[in-house]
């Protein structure tokens, strides 16, 4: 090998040396686990609507059930194994959001229930709420500004 | 002590390594080196309420084990050099607060163990100390908590990531003794290769390791064949390959007798540790356990230990800084 | 039970996750960034009224991924604006997503009371 002259050269050499993630395997696992979680959600949704619960509330019940399942599996120290296997398959559904709240809550218990559990709970999920809520407020303001039916079809 | 070349030092009177001790965690117990460690823990908490406390206990117990193995009274020990990866080195200072030995806390990231041995042997060689203790520790869980994500977060680790060793190693250095001896050392310079990926520490540190390794050879006039084995601290599988390439590009072939403690520590396939072990505890336990025993059994007679460290924290990574590396080398001979 | 909807939820939910997986493996984005990107994209698509069609097609396949969470925030904001006006832009979002957020916070707190983190064995 020739001596490496620059940082750019080193970076591209390192990129060659570093093995890539097994992307096909990861995508396959993400697909079926993510799909399965959504399908379970759909089954819960079906049960709710068949009992006469309206659509909006049914979707909320689906979210809460999946959040509970995720929190439960996280508390049993199982969710991280699922996450390691499924990657985005368990991260992207609302299970991943719940796990990102529950896991730091458990982790920082040793720093107390206020500044540990209470404050650190949002280390990963906080940004999700910040950006999600801020975007929705901007959407609302734009809607007020342009109150045209073409903008909102929901 | 005399300086040779740019930055290497030959001790006037080689410093004796009187005793070592090592305690590792349960994952390391499943690794290929488990029979060389003095004690393997069954769980990461070790009866404590937090990982930080568990790591402090690791340091405390390792140090007292090394002292009792050496047979030296702790009141006869002049200095204790210690360091770890936690903020403000609390594992070392909390673990050693009851030892009553003058304490010097060090931070050299994962190079701390060899850094402490360099300082200790200079003091002994200069007649400023007779007996010293050097120790370093790391803990997988406390390191993950501080540098990465909560343990229960369901994320995937990239193939280049490394597994922080749970463990602590300690060595007692003395003026008199029958060896093995520290004969030469080369403190390293900070080398920044511009790597920004905190999941690829091996690549970030390989440049520093190369710099120290080649400087050591040039300063001392030695070549790779002088040593029975050359061991780096925690470059891992990727960093090891890179160092072999970098050294050969400068005309040094180290392929035959070079290895890495992070590679030795875990079985990559069975233990799913990706690129290998890392952390202060990696070279500290591999040296105190495996290498020291090999030296005592005279299977190795000349060893070059190069501890590598990535000088970063989570803030610097978030601010988009690159990761500077450091590497310190010592030669240990019979 | 509507088996066709369950199948569609499986396929669409799976595809949305695969896109996330490709982003993780190819761009080295951290999980937090992926989640932020998804919720923001979902809120924008929801605001533009596009996401609704995906929900109609795939049900929970579209609502369960975090894009659905984002679209729910926007949808809630808009319907609240329609009924209460300006103030609705600030109240509607969280109101509509309150179930999921409150559940996560509450269950997270309970989990921290009853359980301790353990090392990943494999």
Domain span including residue A147? 125-154
pTM of the entire predicted model: 0.93
Counting DSSP H helices and E strands in chain C, the numbers are 6, 0
Predicted confidence at residue A151, as pLDDT, reads: 46
pLDDT at B257 over 90: yes
**Chain B residues close to C120, C-beta within 8 Å:** 151
Please state whether beta strands B131-138 and B79-83 pair in parallel, antiparallel, or not at all (unpaired): parallel
Give CA–CA dist B91/C4, Å, rounded: 57
Same domain (yes/no): A104, A131: no
Pick from A46, A98, A105: CB nearest C1? A46
Q: Would you call A38 helix, strand, or coil by DSSP?
A: helix
Same domain (yes/no): A38, A96: yes
Number of inter-chain CB pairs under 8 A, A vs B: 98
- Kindly tell me the burial class for residue B319, based on how many C-beta atoms sit within 10 Å of its own C-beta (0-12, 13-18, 19 or more): exposed
Angle at B273 between CA B268 and CA B274, to 5 degrees: 80
Tokens 């759909």: give the residue: A42
Same domain (yes/no): A114, A129: no
B207 and A CB contact within 8 Å: yes
Residue C92: cis peptide before it, omega within 30 degrees of 0: no
Give C18→chain B minimum CA distance, Å. 14
pLDDT tens-digit series, residues B282-331: 999 999 999 999 999 999 999 999 999 999 999 999 999 999 999 999 99
**Chain A residues close to C7, C-beta within 8 Å:** 39
pLDDT tens-digit series, residues B258-277: 999 999 999 988 999 999 99
Mean pLDDT in residue range C86-115: 93
Output the DSSP codes for B254-313: -TTTEEEHHHHHS-HHHHT-TT-EESHHHHHHIIIIIIHHHHHTTS-SEEEEEEEEE---
Please state whether beta strands B324-333 and B229-232 pair in parallel, antiparallel, or not at all (unpaired): unpaired
How many domains does chain A divide into?
A: 2
Same domain (yes/no): A109, A131: no
- Give the C window 39-78 contacts with A, CB below 8 Å: 39-40, 42-44, 46-50, 52, 58-61, 63-66, 68-70, 72-78
- Give the C window 31-70 contacts with B, CB below 8 Å: 31
Percent of chain A clearing pLDDT 90 (strictly above): 85
Give B26→chain A minimum CA distance, Å. 17
Q: Would you call C44 helix, strand, or coil by DSSP?
A: helix
Q: Compute how many other C-beta atoms are within 10 angstroms of the C-beta atom of residue B100.
A: 11
B52 and A CB contact within 8 Å: yes
Structure tokens at A67: 């959040």
Query: Does the B2-174 domain belong in CATH 3.40.47.40?
Result: yes
Beta bridge partners of B104: B81
Residue spans per domain, chain C: 3-114
Give CA–CA dist B15/B118, Å, rounded: 10
Pick from B52, B155, B160: CB nearest A83? B155
Residue in C with minimal Cα distance to B139:
C119
Angle at A93 between CA A92 and CA A96, to 5 degrees: 70
pLDDT at B125 over 90: yes
Q: Would you call B23 helix, strand, or coil by DSSP?
A: strand
Binned at pLDDT 50, 70 and 90, residue B79 comes out as very high
pLDDT tens-digit series, residues C5-38: 999 999 999 999 999 999 999 887 888 899 999 9
Q: Compute how many other C-beta atoms are within 10 angstroms of the C-beta atom of residue B71.
A: 9
Say yes or no for a CB contact (<8 Å) between B150 and A103: yes
Say yes or no for a CB contact (<8 Å) between A103 and B149: yes
List of E strands, B28-130: 39-40, 79-83, 103-105
pLDDT at B83 over 90: yes
Give C16→chain B minimum CA distance, Å. 17
Say yes or no for a CB contact (<8 Å) between A83 and B153: yes
DSSP conformation class of B139: -
Residue A15 is assigned to a structural domain of this protein: no
C4 and A CB contact within 8 Å: no
Predicted confidence at residue A145, as pLDDT, reads: 86
Interface probe, candidates C30, C119, C122, chain B, greatest B C-beta count within 10 A: C119
| Torsion B205-B207-B208-B210 (CA) sign | positive
Pick from C13, C48, C112: CB nearest A34? C13
Q: Compute how many other C-beta atoms are within 10 angstroms of the C-beta atom of residue C68.
A: 36
Say yes or no for a CB contact (<8 Å) between A17 and B249: no
Neighbouring chains to C with at least 3 Cβ pairs closer than 8 Å: A, B
- Kindly tell me the burial class for residue A85, based on how many C-beta atoms sit within 10 Å of its own C-beta (0-12, 13-18, 19 or more): middle
pLDDT at B184 over 90: yes
Say yes or no for a CB contact (<8 Å) between A117 and C109: yes
Binned at pLDDT 50, 70 and 90, residue A152 comes out as very low
Binned at pLDDT 50, 70 and 90, residue C120 comes out as low
Residue pair B57/B95 in contact (Cβ under 8 Å)? The answer is: yes
Say yes or no for a CB contact (<8 Å) between A77 and B152: yes
Same domain (yes/no): A119, A136: no
pLDDT at B136 over 50: yes
Give C96→chain A minimum CA distance, Å. 9
Smallest Cα–Cα separation from B99: which of B127, B72, B126?
Answer: B72
Count of positions (residues) in chain B = 334
Predicted confidence at residue A148, as pLDDT, reads: 57
Pick from C9, C14, C25: CB nearest A42? C9
3-state helix, strand, coil in chain C (%, to 5): 85, 0, 15
Query: Does the B181-333 domain belong in CATH 3.40.50.300?
Result: no
Beta bridge partners of B260: B232
pLDDT at A3 over 90: no
Same domain (yes/no): A114, A135: no
Residue pair B204/B148 in contact (Cβ under 8 Å)? The answer is: no
Looking at chain B, which residues constitute the CATH 3.40.47.40 domain(s)? 2-174, 181-333
Say yes or no for a CB contact (<8 Å) between C28 and B199: yes
Same domain (yes/no): A39, A111: yes
Residue pair B17/B173 in contact (Cβ under 8 Å)? The answer is: yes
pLDDT at A104 over 50: yes
Angle at B122 between CA B121 and CA B125, to 5 degrees: 80
Same domain (yes/no): A60, A136: no
Global ipTM: 0.93
Say yes or no for a CB contact (<8 Å) between C117 and B44: no
Smallest Cα–Cα separation from B94: which of B39, B142, B160, B159?
Answer: B142
């Amino acid at each position: 090998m020739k001596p490496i002259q620059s940082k750019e050269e080193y970076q591209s050499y390192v990129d060659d040396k570093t093995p890539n993630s097994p992307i096909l395997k990861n995508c396959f696992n993400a697909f079926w686990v993510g799909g399965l979680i959504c399908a379970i959600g759909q089954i819960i949704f079906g049960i709710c609507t068949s009992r006469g619960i309206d659509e909006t509330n049914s979707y909320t019940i689906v979210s809460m059930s999946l959040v509970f399942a995720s929190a439960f599996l996280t508390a049993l120290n199982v969710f991280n194994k699922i996450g390691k296997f499924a990657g985005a398959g368990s991260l992207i559904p609302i299970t991943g959001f719940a796990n990102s709240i529950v896991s730091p809550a458990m982790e920082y218990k040793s720093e107390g229930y206020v500044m540990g559990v209470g404050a650190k709970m949002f280390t990963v999920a906080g940004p999700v709420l910040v950006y999600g809520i801020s975007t929705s407020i901007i959407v609302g303001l734009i809607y007020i500004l342009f109150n045209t039916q073409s903008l909102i079809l929901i | 002590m005399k300086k040779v070349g740019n930055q290497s030092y030959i001790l006037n009177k080689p410093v004796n390594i009187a005793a070592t001790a090592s305690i590792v965690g349960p994952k390391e117990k499943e690794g290929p080196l488990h029979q060389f460690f003095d004690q393997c823990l069954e769980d990461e908490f070790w009866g404590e309420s937090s990982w930080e406390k568990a790591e402090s206990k690791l340091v405390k117990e390792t140090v007292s084990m090394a002292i009792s193995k050496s047979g030296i009274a702790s009141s006869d020990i002049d200095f204790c050099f210690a360091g770890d990866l936690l903020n403000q080195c609390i594992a070392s200072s909390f673990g050693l607060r009851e030892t009553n030995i003058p304490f010097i806390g060090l931070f050299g990231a994962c190079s701390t163990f060899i850094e402490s041995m360099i300082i200790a042997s200079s003091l002994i060689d200069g007649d400023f100390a007779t007996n010293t203790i050097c120790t370093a520790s790391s803990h997988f869980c406390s390191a993950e908590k501080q540098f990465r994500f909560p343990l229960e977060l369901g994320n995937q680790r990239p193939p280049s990531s490394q597994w922080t060793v749970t463990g602590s190693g300690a060595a007692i250095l003395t003026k008199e003794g029958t060896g093995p001896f520290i004969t030469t050392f080369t403190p390293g310079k900070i080398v920044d290769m511009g790597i920004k990926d905190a999941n690829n520490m091996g690549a970030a540190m390989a440049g520093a390791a190369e710099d120290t390794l080649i400087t050591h050879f040039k300063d001392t006039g030695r070549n790779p064949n002088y040593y029975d084995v050359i061991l780096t601290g925690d470059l891992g599988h990727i960093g090891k390959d890179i160092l072999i390439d970098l050294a050969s590009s400068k005309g040094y072939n180290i392929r035959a007798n070079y290895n890495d403690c992070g590679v030795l520590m875990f079985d990559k396939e069975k233990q799913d540790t990706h690129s290998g072990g890392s952390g202060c505890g990696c070279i500290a336990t591999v040296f105190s356990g495996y290498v020291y025993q090999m030296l005592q059994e005279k299977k190795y007679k000349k060893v070059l230990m190069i501890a590598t460290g990535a000088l970063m924290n989570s803030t610097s990574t978030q601010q988009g800084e690159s990761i500077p590396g450091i590497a310190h080398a010592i030669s240990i001979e019979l | 039970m509507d088996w066709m909807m369950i199948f569609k939820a499986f396929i669409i939910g799976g595809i949305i996750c695969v896109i996330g997986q490709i982003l993780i493996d190819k761009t080295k984005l951290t999980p937090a960034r992926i989640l932020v990107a998804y919720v923001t994209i979902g809120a924008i698509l929801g605001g533009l009224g596009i996401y609704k069609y995906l929900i109609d097609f795939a049900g929970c396949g579209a609502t369960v991924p975090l894009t659905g969470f984002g679209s729910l925030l926007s949808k809630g904001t808009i319907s609240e604006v329609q009924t209460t006006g300006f103030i609705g832009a600030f109240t509607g979002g969280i109101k509509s997503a309150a179930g999921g957020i409150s559940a996560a916070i509450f269950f997270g707190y309970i989990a921290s009371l009853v359980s301790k983190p353990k090392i990943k064995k494999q």
